[in-house]
């Protein structure tokens, strides 16, 4: 695999530029910005191309201008891929709310570009199993959906179980390591864990309660869906806990009448 310096040399030669051309152009850039750090003498250019010397930030800029390449492409040759920013944001959570511009200018991220033909947008589904191919598309904040550490679910357009917390059409991130139903002690509905559950009829997101040999799939109080009681674990498998969600706000449509299959049987009092 070619090094960053080798790639820079190849690019220079493809453009028909000599080392002296690079020196002259970079000197003009340095003069315009009143900063000699932009200048690239032939001796330094030779070191960069042949001795694995990493260019300074200013020289990256000069290379970008002179070689007509996006600076992000040049930095990627040295192992710095700015398109990973969205994924790495998880490593720090500032305590104060803020307006984030960290991923405003990213060019590409990985997202599903081909789905299994059996995908039915009306039904809740395990999204990870439906993706046939990941590709690069410009939607930076969803880059984490390419992570193999989680599975991902899609809330069907006819699944109102956790409405309004998880409206139909939402994408959810599921931590499969958290597949044990937790007991109470929550101060609000937002603290209560939501689980992604696979049943014989399909998938569902809901609150869960274990009672004897049964599991109660509890919908949100504002949802028109009734609680369901299933044998556990024979008829219901807890895939994991919902730890992230991507939703679209606005454009709500009235809740349509639910089929008998969605209502299920009522939980005991």
pLDDT at 146: 55
| Assigned domain for 104 exists | no
Residue range 211-231: mean pLDDT, rounded: 95
| Assigned domain for 109 exists | no
pLDDT at 184: 83
- Work out the pLDDT band at 39, boundaries 50, 70, 90: very high
Task: Give the residue from 80, 105, 138 where a domain finishes.
Answer: 80
Query: Does residue 1 or residue 255 have the better pLDDT?
Result: 1
Q: Is the pLDDT of residue 206 over 60?
A: yes
The CA angle 87-90-91, to the nearest 5 degrees, is 115
> pLDDT over 90 for what percent of the chain?
51
| Assigned domain for 111 exists | no
Domain co-membership, 75 together with 181: no
Residue range 227-238: mean pLDDT, rounded: 96
pLDDT tens profile 120-176: 777 777 766 665 555 544 445 555 555 556 788 888 888 999 999 999 888 888 899
pLDDT tens profile 176-194: 999 999 988 899 998 999 9
Q: Is the pLDDT of residue 239 over 80?
A: yes
pLDDT at 54: 96
- Domain span holding position 19: 4-80
Output the DSSP codes for 140-170. Answer: GGGGGGG-SSSEEEE--TT--TTTTTS-TT-
Task: Give the residue from 26, 55, 80 where a domain finishes.
Answer: 80
Q: Is the pLDDT of residue 15 over 90?
A: yes
Residue range 41-60: mean pLDDT, rounded: 96
Tell me the average pLDDT of the chain. Answer: 82
Give the relative orientation of helices 19-32 and 57-66 as an angle to the nearest 10 degrees: 110
Q: Is the pLDDT of residue 92 over 90?
A: no
Q: Is the pLDDT of residue 262 over 80?
A: no
d(C-alpha 38, C-alpha 26), whole Å = 6
pLDDT tens profile 59-75: 999 999 999 999 988 99
Decide if 166 contacts 144 (C-beta within 8 A).
Answer: no
Domain co-membership, 255 together with 160: yes
| Assigned domain for 130 exists | no
The mean-pLDDT minimum among 28-37, 108-117, 210-219 falls in 108-117
Decide if 214 contacts 229 (C-beta within 8 A).
Answer: yes
Q: Where are the beta strands (DSSP E) in the chain?
A: 109-115, 125-126, 131-137, 151-154, 171-175, 195-199, 202-211, 214-218, 228-231, 236-246
Decide if 66 contacts 11 (C-beta within 8 A).
Answer: no
| Assigned domain for 33 exists | yes
d(C-alpha 60, C-alpha 83), whole Å = 17
| Assigned domain for 217 exists | yes
Q: Into how many domains does the chain fold?
A: 2
Order the strands of the 236-246 sheet from edge to edge.
125-126, 151-154, 171-175, 236-246, 195-199, 202-211, 214-218, 228-231
Task: Give the residue from 80, 103, 126 where a domain finishes.
Answer: 80
The CA angle 78-149-99, to the nearest 5 degrees, is 65
Query: Does residue 46 or residue 262 have the better pLDDT?
Result: 46
CATH, residue 214: 2.10.109.10
CATH, residue 46: 1.10.260.40
d(C-alpha 15, C-alpha 36), whole Å = 24
d(C-alpha 162, C-alpha 174), whole Å = 15
Domain co-membership, 158 together with 53: no
| Assigned domain for 114 exists | no
């Amino acid at each position: 695999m070619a090094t960053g310096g080798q790639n820079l040399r190849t690019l220079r030669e493809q453009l028909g530029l000599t080392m002296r051309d690079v020196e002259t152009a970079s000197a003009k850039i340095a003069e315009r910005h009143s900063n000699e750090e932009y200048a690239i003498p032939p001796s330094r250019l030779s070191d960069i191309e042949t001795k694995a010397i990493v260019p300074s930030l200013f020289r990256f800029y000069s290379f970008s201008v002179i070689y007509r390449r996006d600076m992000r492409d040049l930095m990627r040759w040295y192992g710095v891929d700015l398109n990973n920013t969205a994924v790495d944001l998880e490593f720090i959570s500032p305590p104060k709310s803020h307006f984030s511009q960290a991923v405003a200018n990213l060019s590409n991220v990985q997202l599903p570009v081909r789905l299994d033909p059996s995908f039915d947008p009306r039904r809740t589904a395990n999204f990870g199993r439906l993706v046939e191919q990941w590709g690069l598309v410009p939607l930076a904040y969803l880059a984490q959906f390419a992570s193999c550490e989680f599975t991902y679910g899609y809330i069907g357009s006819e699944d109102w179980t956790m409405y309004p917390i998880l409206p139909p059409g939402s994408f959810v991130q599921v931590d499969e390591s958290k597949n044990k139903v937790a007991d109470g002690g929550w101060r609000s509905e937002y603290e209560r864990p939501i689980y992604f559950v696979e049943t014989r009829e399909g998938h569902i997101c809901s609150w869960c309660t274990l009672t004897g040999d049964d599991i109660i799939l509890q919908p949100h109080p504002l949802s028109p869906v009734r609680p369901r009681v299933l044998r556990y674990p024979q008829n219901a498998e807890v895939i994991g806990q919902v730890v992230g969600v991507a939703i679209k706000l606005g454009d709500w449509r009235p809740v349509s009448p639910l089929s008998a299959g969605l209502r299920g049987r009522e939980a005991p009092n």
